[in-house]
Amino acid sequence: MLPQSISSRASKLSRRDPTAPLRHIDPVLIGCTVALSILGVIAVYSSTRGPGPDYSKSYLYKQTIFMVIGAGAMVFCSVVDYRKLHDWAWVFYGITTALLVLVVSPLGSEVNGAKSWFSLGPFQMQPAEFSKLSLIGVLAFLLSEFRGDVDIRRLVALVATAALPMALIMLQPDLGETLILLAITMTIMLVGGLPTKYIAVLTIVGLVGVVGALNSPLLADYQRDRLTAFVNPSDTSNAALYNIEQSQQAIANGGITGQGLFDGPQTKLGFVPEQETDFIFTAVAEQFGFIGASTMLFLYGLLCYRIWRIAQVAKDSFGTYLCAGVLAMFAFSAFENVGMAMGIMPVTGIPLLLISAGGSATITALAGLGLVLNVYMRRFQ
Amino acid sequence: MDTSSPRLRMSILGVVVLGCFLALFARLWYLQVMEAPALAVQATVNRTRTVATEAPRGRIFDAKGRVIVDNRTSLIVSIDRNELKKVKNRDDLIARLADVLTANGAPIKISTIEKRLSDKKADQLQALPIASDVTEEVIHHLSEYAEDFPAVSYERKTVRVYPYGTIASNILGYTGRITAETLKRLEPGTDPDGVEKSYQPDSIIGLAGVESTYEKELRGTPGIELVQVDFKNRPVGTESYQPPKSGNDIQLHIDIEVQIRAEQALVERLNVLRGTAQRDGTIRGAPAGSVVVLDPRDGGVVALASAPSYDPQEFAVGITQERYNQLQDVNGASALIDRSITGQYAPGSTFKLVTAAAALSNGLIDGNSSIYDDGVYRVGNPVQEFTNAGKEKYGNVNVVRGLTVSSDVYFYWLGDRMDGTTLIQDAAAAFGFDKRTGIDLPNESAGYVLTKAEKKALSKKYPDAYPNGDWYTGDNVQLAVGQNVIVVTPLQLARAYAAFANGGTVYQPHVVWKILRPNSTTTDPSDVLRVLEPVVTGTVTLPPDVRGPIASGLEGVTSGSGTGASAFVGFDQQAFRIVGKTGTAQVDGKADTSLFASYGPALSPKWVVAAVMEESGFGSEASGEVARRIYEVIANQALTGAGTATNGSMD
């Protein structure tokens, strides 16, 4: 909802100025966002309300609050001209990088063996989520400055800029977020006109990096198990495999029409772990079935298509690169998260944006969509 | 082509993202539409556990509809010994448990609990019953303070009740917990509705007697509850529940009244004889004996007594090793053996029925062929002498008199004349000796009747036990009087006399008569699921010129100069004429085996009674006396009409 003062002013402006931003908001993108957000809140409540009859509503309230804050962030990111962010990109990058340093310091709290959170009273903040957006910003800024003219020196600068937050996140360690940063980096560099030979080299380096990370001492045994469970599904000693099996059975249990809202026995009885975050797709799929889950994926796909279109119609390359980054953030998070739940991607803990419970991820996702909307609204200015 | 063109790069990105989403859709379709049925079944298996409740077993009725095996509920407290090992204050726990039991009306000593716990025979994996038939108060206390009693559990169980106590224990058998090995191989039956009566590791099964042979009928359909559990295996609800259903009832041919009399008469007679001297001065051990009562018309088993016997109730609640050992030695004999179907005895003179039938039907003699019996029969060169019992001289003897007075000499002569043939063995086979009868009880023995060839083979196989493998005329002479080369079971003996009584039909003896619906009444014909039809296993040809002389000879036994007359003094033979044969089989160094095989009433035989008593002396004075007391009950039923079965409508 836009404040009354802004909308009334917008209507006055629009009559005079056909390029006015508010004349060009994207209803499809906003519609998809709203629909997915509502579905997310329902899914989070369904996964966390417990067996009853005294249903826990704390996650429901928290997630609603995050959605409201996220909506504010989205409005803010769409209203302020994105070209002004151009100048602030490094500042954001600096702040999030500093937070990433602090979170692995004694200030951060350790949950499940990973130091990824700051505890702020009843809430936790996960700086890695915000660093996705700041990395998008700074890489889009750099590549738009380079105007497709990237030599070795500039490549090194780009790689170093991307590698710093990735390395810090690996220290937590959080392989999932690192991989998303890698996907964002590769996407922006691809779209940003990096010479094909560099792209090829980076792809190889990236693959080597992933393999290296797998064998690095930074990874706990359980993390390695999760990843190899995907590669080696017949290893019965692997506990992670149990999660994948239970998750796939829960999804299958949904069938075509689903078990009904709040009525997925496999998820309800706790056979699927982390179902309000990493495995939330199973809750959606078991309760709403193929019809519900594929509708959700379709909305996600439509959202990604809109971002992709906006990247193409952007007024300048900075806008294009921003959109490409946000697209990578959404598309690869969804692919990894949903793919993991269905057993076609390795188990790494990353949220399904807009659906999973979590403040940092939700606010980051909505802020990212605000930026995309921003680019779209100002494509004629 | 410019590979760095923004349009191309955007297109590549679009294709990659589209590919990702298509992969997700494909996988979702696969999981939720194609593989869903199989995976969903797996999911159901994961989140449910099956909890089975044993159903009551079917009841058992006697031929007249009296309940002889029933059920009742018992509250049982058990200790899981594996869990007990993990308990820190083990002794304290046991002391507290003893206190709770004692304070709530189920007194028990700590030492008793310890003794039960140290029982090595019990299955280590199962919770061990410590106290049965405890009060509701004990259960209340244990459930209220459950956390104070780790490793202790309690359950409500249906257990067997035997209204007649130990009566017919050899027939009924007992029940007990299934072993892991049995669980693997036992094929479950189905109930009248076609539902499988599955077995669980703590199922109760029939372990002996009818409980064992009719396990498939008697077993109830377990109650199956599908309990929904959460990921920590904690029950959260019930997905489906199928209540337990009682097993089929069964009705036996056994007449509990006759059975009671058979057991009492047997035990009482053994007690009277035990320690006394028989005619030649040998002290009677009288440790054991058995009685078989058959219905010659269809092979129905009316009574089957074996002494000593045991109380099946002891097995129902769990028996200690010590008590088990005791039961294996009661007066020098095991109480756990049913001698009526497993005991193997030389039939002695009771076998003369067969020898006479062989000689008559093969034309060697007729009813009048006689010889002079001077008390001794001489065979071969060098001469071997065979004598009558007590060297009695009977003078002129034909087959009729030979049977009545039991002239051994007459039958030695028949044996001598049939030497070199298998006429006696063939007749024995026709009467059903030499083979198991096929009775519907477990562990039946077969007995044997040796032929020349078989003796040779035996000697070759066991040279120590049978040093001489040759067949002598003496062997045939001994066979003719049921000695040395022949052993039979009391059941086989009874069946042979039943075949003679009914005119030649050899039936398979049957304990069970009808299979009835669960919770049936024995008076409602619609409760009958099926009637076990008589099975004919063979026939003996008994034309009048064969059957007549033998019947006359046997009829004389129970009166006048007959060998069994003394046992029937005062018995009203006008009203109920008894036909029979005594037998006194010699056993080296011990008192004789006393036998009596008979049927009655003479003209329309409805009962066959055979009794065999170990180390008890002359035929009539032990077995004959027992048979007479049984006939008292039978004759009373026959003459007063008390013998009518209540389920007679199905006859």
Chain B residues lying within 8 Å of A293, measured CB to CB: 28, 32
Q: Is B42 on the interface with A (CB under 8 A)?
A: yes
Question: If you average pLDDT over residues B484-505, what whole number do you get?
Answer: 96
**Inter-chain contact B43–A290, Cβ cutoff 8 Å?**
no
Of B17, B39, B231, the CB nearest to A271: B231
Does the pLDDT value for residue A1 go beyond 70? no
Q: Is B243 on the interface with A (CB under 8 A)?
A: no
Query: Model ipTM?
Result: 0.91
Nearest CA distance, A344 vs chain B (angstrom): 8
pLDDT tens-digit readout, A313-328: 999 999 999 999 999 9
Chain B residues lying within 8 Å of A266, measured CB to CB: 43, 46-47
Chain A residues lying within 8 Å of B228, measured CB to CB: 265, 269
Chain B residues lying within 8 Å of A342, measured CB to CB: 24, 27-28, 31
**Inter-chain contact A269–B39, Cβ cutoff 8 Å?**
no
More confident residue, B82 or A248: A248
Least confident of A291-295, A350-354, B457-461: B457-461
> Which pTM value belongs to this model?
0.68
Chain A residues lying within 8 Å of B46, measured CB to CB: 246, 249, 266, 271
Chain A residues lying within 8 Å of B7, measured CB to CB: 312
Residue B301 is predicted with a pLDDT of: 97
Task: List residues bridging with B158 in a β-sheet.
Answer: B73
**Inter-chain contact B17–A331, Cβ cutoff 8 Å?**
yes
Question: If you average pLDDT over residues A269-284, what whole number do you get?
Answer: 84
Q: In degrees to the nearest 10, what's the CA dihedral of B373, B379, B383, B385? A: -50
Most confident of A235-249, B71-85, B382-396: B382-396
The sign of the torsion formed by the CA atoms of A27, A30, A36, A41 equals negative
- Going by their DSSP bridges, the two strands A109-111 and A114-120 should be labelled as antiparallel
Comparing alpha-carbon positions, the chain B residue that sits nearest to A344 is B27
Which tokens in the block code for residue B284?
């009677």
Residue B650 is predicted with a pLDDT of: 34
Least confident of B91-105, B111-125, B142-156, B323-337: B111-125
Most confident of A192-206, B310-324, B378-392, B572-586: B572-586
Buried b (16+ CB within 10 A) or exposed e, A184-219: bbbbbbbbbbbbeebbeebeeeeeebeeebeeeeeb
Does the pLDDT value for residue A4 go beyond 70? no
pLDDT tens-digit readout, A146-171: 887 888 899 999 999 999 999 999 88
More confident residue, B643 or B445: B445
**Inter-chain contact A249–B21, Cβ cutoff 8 Å?**
no
More confident residue, B221 or A230: B221
Q: Is A31 on the interface with B (CB under 8 A)?
A: no
Return the closest-CA partner of residue A356 out of A67, A114, A154: A67
Comparing alpha-carbon positions, the chain B residue that sits nearest to A246 is B43
pLDDT tens-digit readout, A230-261: 555 555 555 667 778 888 888 888 888 888 88
Nearest CA distance, B240 vs chain A (angstrom): 15
Q: Report chain B's mean pLDDT, rounded to a whole number.
A: 88
CB distance A217 to B25 below 8 Å = no
Measured in degrees and rounded to the nearest 5, phi and psi for residue B68 equal: -110, -15
Which positions 261-280 of A are in contact with B (Cβ < 8 Å)? 265-266, 269-271
Question: If you average pLDDT over residues B28-57, what whole number do you get?
Answer: 82
Residue A67 is predicted with a pLDDT of: 96
Chain B residues lying within 8 Å of A249, measured CB to CB: 39-40, 42-43, 46
Q: Is B28 on the interface with A (CB under 8 A)?
A: yes
- Interface test mutation site (partner B, options A251, A279, A288, A336, max chain B beta carbons within 10 A): A251
3-state secondary structure of A343: coil
Does the pLDDT value for residue B497 go beyond 60? yes
Residue A13 is predicted with a pLDDT of: 53
- Interface test mutation site (partner B, options A249, A274, A299, A338, max chain B beta carbons within 10 A): A249
Residue A313 is predicted with a pLDDT of: 93
Chain A residues lying within 8 Å of B38, measured CB to CB: 252
**Inter-chain contact A269–B47, Cβ cutoff 8 Å?**
yes
**Inter-chain contact A253–B228, Cβ cutoff 8 Å?**
no
Q: Is B115 on the interface with A (CB under 8 A)?
A: no
Q: Is B34 on the interface with A (CB under 8 A)?
A: no
**Inter-chain contact A254–B228, Cβ cutoff 8 Å?**
no
Q: Using 50, 70 and 90 to split pLDDT, how confident is the model at B645? A: very low
Residue A2 is predicted with a pLDDT of: 45
Comparing alpha-carbon positions, the chain B residue that sits nearest to A149 is B4
Does the pLDDT value for residue B123 go beyond 90? no
Which tokens in the block code for residue B282?
């040998």
- Going by their DSSP bridges, the two strands B249-252 and B60-61 should be labelled as parallel
Of B3, B6, B31, the CB nearest to A248: B31
- Interface test mutation site (partner B, options A253, A284, A298, A303, max chain B beta carbons within 10 A): A253
Residue B643 is predicted with a pLDDT of: 47
Of A190, A195, A335, the CB nearest to B12: A190
Q: In degrees to the nearest 10, what's the CA dihedral of A243, A248, A252, A253? A: 10
**Distance of alpha carbon A173 from alpha carbon A237, whole angstroms:** 24
**Distance of alpha carbon A269 from alpha carbon A326, whole angstroms:** 35
